[in-house]
Structure 1
Amino acid sequence: MSFPALSATLKRFLFGYGGTSLATGLQVVLLPWIAVKVVDLPALHLGWVQASVLLPNLLFLLFGGALADRRDAARVAALACLGLAVCHLALLLYFQVRIPNLAVLLLYGVSLGVCTAFLQPARDNLVQRSARSDDGRASERGVQQTVTWMMLAQYGGQALGMLLASRFDHWGLRPLLSLQAAVVAVAALFFYSLREPRATLPPEQGKRPLTLIAEGLAEAWRRPALRELVALMAFNGFVHIGVFLVVLPLLAEDYGRGASYYATLQLAFIGGTVAATVTMLRRGQGTRPGRGILMCLAYSAALLVAISFGPTPFGLILLCACWGGVAAASAVLGRAVVQVLAPDAYRSRLISIYQLALFGSAALGALAAGALSEYAAPLTTLLWAGIVSLLAFVLVMASGALKRLEIGAT
């Protein structure tokens, strides 16, 4: 099966999305490795550094969704990218003077988190704009396919960023931070090119941000499938992402193979996500995405338990690749569900609620994983995460709205 030709609008969207993802791939490796190897922080402090990037979601993500519904999402995304560029340049300038400490890394992480909180809902809102056909409408199948392309750009960009970050031991930090700043600045230009005339925007400008947020929460609550999906993403963020952010660099350090091995683990994870996304792009997502999301929860539980038995260095790489494939399938299906179910006027706010559940809980999960790993072995943390995930799968299977959801059948 050959891939369809991409429209010019979709190409610009994917270049912008891929650029921000490349910068994220660099950040995923650089920030924890700076904390562990350059600043020599313990596990608990590493948890705080990782959480500092995610905690601003708790405060600003819903406001980011409201802003993207009230203003042009393309302009909001472009401004957020410029903010990220400033953050990377600021840390680069600090490194010219001295080695950062915990406080500087926390400030850097919080600044990244604030910009990302405004970027995420605005960036994902552009899916519908990029999925429109010649008649100006976006079908459910078109949206599903665009989401899959979006996730491929995300995972491919992250893979490239992590591959570049794996050269940390040879290139040093300064060239990589410079590259991060340049890439997000270019991504800002691509997003800005997707802007639309202000007259086409929904009439939300006169409402207060808190009113817009309350309306978005009410809209999400009225949709049982979205309610269940948001709850499940909150669990995934707390247990799976939190564990991934903290325990994986600790395991890499225990294996004693340097930053290149940690980057290899991240690349294996991203390689799994790319493979899974390409497969879904060719075969489609199916008409029952809810069931697929629930099965991904069961597979994640099995993988966490398997890693907790302490595989060989090569075995850990393979398991990380499998974990990435499962995570990608869950993410693609979940985001497609939100895009299809969300009305146009509420799309950015519902996206922000979905992402708040996922990444806001991930910040708390990183803190919990860091605290647990401070007093127990990282492998023990993985074992408990796997057991809890298996219990969650049993409980969610007893529910119904998400499991019965059917989309894209026509």
Structure 2
Amino acid sequence: MNDNPNALTDSPTGSFRFYLQGMGVSSFAHGLQIVLFPWLLVGVLNESPERVGIAQMALMLPQLLFVLWGGVMSDNRHPGQHLFRLYLLYNLPCLLLMGALWSGQLSFSVMLLYGFCFGTITAFVQPARESLLSRVVDSQLQQAVARASFVQFTAQSAGIFLAGYMDRIGLLPLIGLQLVMLATSGWLLRNSLGYLPESSMGRRGSTWVDMMSGLKLVWHHRRLFQLMMVVAATGFLGFGLYLVAMPLLTREVYQQGASFFASIQFTFMLGMIIANVIIIRLVGRFRQPGRVLLTSLLIRGLFLIIMALHPPVWLLFLLVLLWGGASGVAMMLGRSLTHEESPQKYRARVVSVYQLSLFGAATVGAWLSGHAIASVGVLTAIGTLGALTVVTALVAIKFSDLWQPLPNDSREG
């Protein structure tokens, strides 16, 4: 079974299979969230672009405020047990939303509170979950990240697909299912890692000093710093725009409903799945991951420019599929490069800087996207941010070390 030197193997204390199961169940729940949250704003409350941007910002703002703290907590705790407790906390925002829907009191204020609570828990979950990944496999992190990404995107697609039937199933049953799946995921992730000696976890010191240690490590590590700048550009120019523009594009440009929006989300995830299947089955491991990452950023900008020309529906879905594929490659490479370049002792803290770069920039991007769409329209805003993405990619290709060939080494992922 392990004659292949590229084969993934469990760590002595971990089970990658349990980790993947936990990731899958969690991602299914988040797939429901991807459709339900924006459509409650756009399709149920009929909010303006500015307010949709503000609500998406409230969902992601905790990443900016708490993710570094979350990374420190993850380095100082057993990540499986820590995740189990965090996943149980998702009950609070889910029950809040269910109560508002049940009583007919759903409002913009409730959505802001729900988004901020859900995002706060996620700010602590993400660095812990990424840190757990590197503890449940012994080698080949690029392959491990690719397989985890495949499970994540596939399960999210299933959740998105099911959420597309919200008119038939009802909002309350879907949110109740989301609650159950999140609790189940926490149990599976807890069981993916056995006992860890105290020496394998960080010493508890000053939280502020520990938070700054992750930032300082990235600041003084040239490739990591440049990687985080590219990740921030992706969050600001792409992710933030996607969260706000896609539901508004559905409603205002194509004049469609929830099923059309869910189909867009499903197509995007399908592109991510296809990209990760290709990586797992055909590529295996990129020898120059930085070049692939920057090329992906350039291509995504071009897709946005074409999308701004108001293509017919079939071409829109093709562009979304390709955009998802390029984003899947970029996400896999960003995560794997972060793991490979950071020492195990500080990995959760460095991962938290990655999350801060992506979601912190996306927070601002979502807010600005809402205002840009309100000012110049959906299509013009998409085209403008697409052009900025192309310019950013070209500058990074010209000046970044990420484009330069790696030394001839044979580092294991």
TM-score normalised by length of structure 1 = 0.94
Q: Separation in 1 of the partners of 2:342 and 2:7?
A: 26
1:191 to 185, 189, 192: 189
Contact between 1:64 and 1:118, CA under 8 Å: does it hold in 2?
yes
Counterparts of 1:393 and 1:144, CA distance in 2: 23
Identity of aligned residues (%): 30
CA displacement at 1:195 relative to structure 2: 3.8
Q: Is the 8 A contact 2:8 2:143 kept in 1?
A: no
The match for 2:177 among 172, 176, 179 is: 179
Within a 5 Å distance, the mapping from 1:69-80 to structure 2 comes to: 69-80=75-86
Q: Deviations over 1:5-48 (max 9, x none)?
A: 87581110011111111111111100110111211211111111
**Residue among 40, 46, 49 paired with 1:34:** 40
Query: Residue 338 of structure 1 corresponds to which residue in structure 2?
Result: 338
Select 1:97's aligned residue among 103, 108, 113: 103
Using the TM superposition, give the Cα deviation of residue 89 of structure 1 relative to its aligned residue in structure 2, in angstroms: 2.2
Is the 8 Å Cα contact of residues 143 and 336 (structure 1) preserved in structure 2? yes
- 2:227·2:402 contact (CA, 8 Å) conserved in 1? yes
- Give the aligned partner of residue 226 of structure 1: 224
Residue-by-residue CA offset, 1:151-200 (whole Å, 9 max, x unaligned)? 11111111011001000111110110011001001001011113443524
Q: Relative to structure 2, which stretch is displaced further, 307-316 or 109-118? A: 307-316
Q: Is the 8 A contact 1:220 1:350 kept in 2?
A: yes
What's the secondary structure of 1:287's corresponding residue? Answer: coil
Separation in 2, partners of 1:240, 1:359: 11
- Write the mapping of 1:178-327 to structure 2, written as runs, cut at 5 A: 178-202=176-200, 204-254=202-252, 255-282=254-281, 283-327=283-327
Q: Partner of 1:135 in structure 2?
A: none
Aligned residues: 401
Cα shift at 1:90: 2.3
Which whole-Å CA distance do the structure 1 matches of 2:15 and 2:181 have between them? 19
| Residue 87 of structure 1: how far off its partner (Å) | 1.7
Counterpart AA for 1:372: A
Cα offsets for 1:263-317 (capped at 9, x unmatched): 0000000000000001001121311100000100110111000100001122211
Task: Name the residue aligned to 1:378.
Answer: 378
Counterpart residue number, 1:15: 21
- The C-alpha deviation readout for 1:99-126, integer Å capped at 9, x for no partner, is 3111100000000100000000000111
Instruction: Output one character per residue of 1:204-238: Cα deviation in whole Å (capped at 9) or x when no partner.
Output: 33301111111111111121110000011111101
> Quick check: 213-222 or 196-205, which moved more?
196-205
- Kindly indicate whether the alpha-carbon contact (under 8 Å) linking 2:35 and 2:160 is maintained by their aligned counterparts in 1: yes
**Alpha carbons 1:342, 1:350 under 8 Å: kept:** yes
Q: Which residue of 1 aligns with 2:349?
A: 349
| Structure 2 residues not aligned, in runs of 5+ | none
Q: Do the aligned partners of 1:66 and 1:349 also contact (CA within 8 Å) in 2?
A: yes
Q: In structure 1, how many angstroms separate the alpha carbons of the residues matched to 2:387 and 2:230?
A: 16
| 8 Å Cα contact 1:85-1:180 kept in structure 2 | no
Give the direction of change, closer, same or farther, for the CA distance of 1:121–1:408 in structure 2 (3 Å limit). farther
How far residue 93 of structure 1 moved from its aligned partner, in angstroms, is 2.0
Contact 1:13–1:194, Cα closer than 8 Å, also in 2: yes
- CA apart distance, 1:404: 2.7
Given residue 328 of structure 2, which amino acid in structure 1 is its aligned partner?
A: A
Structure 1 unmatched runs, 5+: 133-137
Q: 2:396 maps to which residue?
A: 396
CA contact (8 A) 2:59 2:115 kept: yes
Q: Deviations over 1:329-383 (max 9, x none)?
A: 0010111101111101100000000110001110110000000111111000111
In 2, Cα distance between equivalents of 1:6 and 1:95: 46
* RMSD over aligned Cα atoms: 1.7
Question: 1:206 and 1:310 mapped to 2: Cα distance?
Answer: 54
Q: TM-score, normalized by length of structure 2?
A: 0.94
Match of 1:51 among 44, 57, 77: 57
CA deviation after TM superposition for structure 1 residue 86, in Å: 2.8
Name the CA distance, whole Å, in 2 between partners of 1:400 and 1:193: 41
Contact 2:223–2:401, Cα closer than 8 Å, also in 1: yes
1:235–1:5 distance in 2 versus 1, CA, 3 Å: closer
Contact 1:39-1:99 within 8 A present in 2 as well: no
Task: Give the match's secondary structure for 2:267.
Answer: helix
Mapped contact 2:275–2:329 kept (Cα < 8 A): yes
Q: Which amino acid aligns with 1:263?
A: A
